[in-house]
């Protein structure tokens, strides 16, 4: 008996009936949205995968993953690497994740998010804090702040003499820093087939961010820098590159073709 009213069997039967009479409640709104989002992502992925993996099907798929990509990008705010470079790295890993995705093993958003963790290794290896002494970073920051302050006060960009007076630094140091920063900001030019070719801003950005690509071997990096005049290197013709890098001209040609492929890959994710 239960409290002198029911036998155990009667109590269990009544409990079973009571539970059966309850109507299942609606799932929380956030779970419904999540399922709808997952379904949309999978539908877009299947369309892209089954229709020849065409760019016109890739764009809406990448657009659907923007919240995941944005979450990853927000982790790296403030690091000393251009945001466009970080975003391109994130999109590169997202694209690789999409290409390797198996719908039988995982949800697309989860798979992409896990693959985006590789961005952290890229950041740690190439952020400026790891490549430039801390004192130099401080000088660069003060230089830029002084330049902004004087520009606002004067109404035009100050020359190096005015910057030196404002900072209390030797004029020669300011000139050198100004030269280094100007070289970094200068857009690269010249294309693999003909330096006279006109490049789009997208091509220029793809070439610029290639300097952070960990796939480049020592020889590839040397040819890349000499082809486009990156990192203070002179921009040279293929024959001159062969002599300077001590490589056979045919090898320089093969490396330049590989670099062109890397640039085209980078353009896909910009």
The residue ranges of every structural domain in the chain are 46-128, 132-185, 201-269
- Write down the pTM of the prediction: 0.43
Read off the pLDDT of each residue in 34-49 and give the average, rounded to a whole number: 84
pLDDT of residue 135: 54
Contacts of 82 (CB under 8 A, 6+ apart): 209
Q: Please name which of 211, 205, 251, 253 lies closest in space to residue 232, comparing C-alpha atoms.
A: 211
pLDDT of residue 244: 92
Task: Reduce the DSSP state of residue 208 to 3 states and report it.
Answer: helix
Assigned token pair, 129:
């804090």
pLDDT of residue 80: 66
132-185 classified as CATH 1.10.10? yes
Q: Is 108 left (phi over 0), alpha (psi -120 to 50) or beta?
A: alpha
Biggest distance spanned by C-alpha atoms of the chain? 102
Assigned token pair, 248:
């056979």
């Amino acid at each position: 008996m239960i409290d002198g009213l029911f036998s155990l069997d009667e109590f269990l039967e009544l409990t079973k009936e009571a539970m059966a009479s309850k109507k299942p409640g609606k799932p929380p709104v956030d779970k419904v949205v999540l399922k709808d989002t997952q379904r949309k992502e999978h539908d877009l992925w299947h369309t892209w995968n089954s229709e020849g993996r065409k760019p016109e099907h890739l764009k809406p798929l990448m657009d659907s993953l923007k919240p995941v990509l944005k979450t990853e990008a927000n982790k790296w705010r403030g690091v000393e690497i251009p945001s466009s470079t970080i975003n391109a790295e994130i999109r590169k890993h997202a694209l690789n994740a999409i290409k390797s995705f198996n719908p039988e093993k995982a949800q697309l958003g989860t798979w992409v998010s896990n693959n985006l963790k590789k961005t952290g290794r890229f950041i740690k290896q190439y952020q400026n804090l790891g490549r430039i002494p801390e004192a130099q970073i401080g000088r660069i920051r003060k230089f830029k702040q002084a330049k902004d302050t004087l520009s606002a006060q004067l109404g035009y960009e100050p020359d190096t003499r005015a910057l030196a007076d404002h900072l209390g630094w030797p004029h020669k140091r300011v000139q050198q820093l100004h030269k280094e920063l100007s070289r970094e900001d200068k857009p690269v030019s010249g294309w693999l087939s003909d330096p006279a070719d006109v490049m789009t801003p997208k091509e220029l950005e793809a070439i610029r961010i290639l300097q952070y690509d960990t796939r480049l071997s020592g020889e590839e990096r040397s040819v890349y820098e000499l082809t486009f005049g990156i990192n203070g290197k002179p921009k040279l013709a293929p024959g001159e590159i062969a002599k300077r890098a001590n490589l056979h001209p045919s090898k320089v040609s093969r490396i330049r073709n590989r670099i062109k492929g890397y640039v085209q890959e980078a353009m896909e994710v910009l």
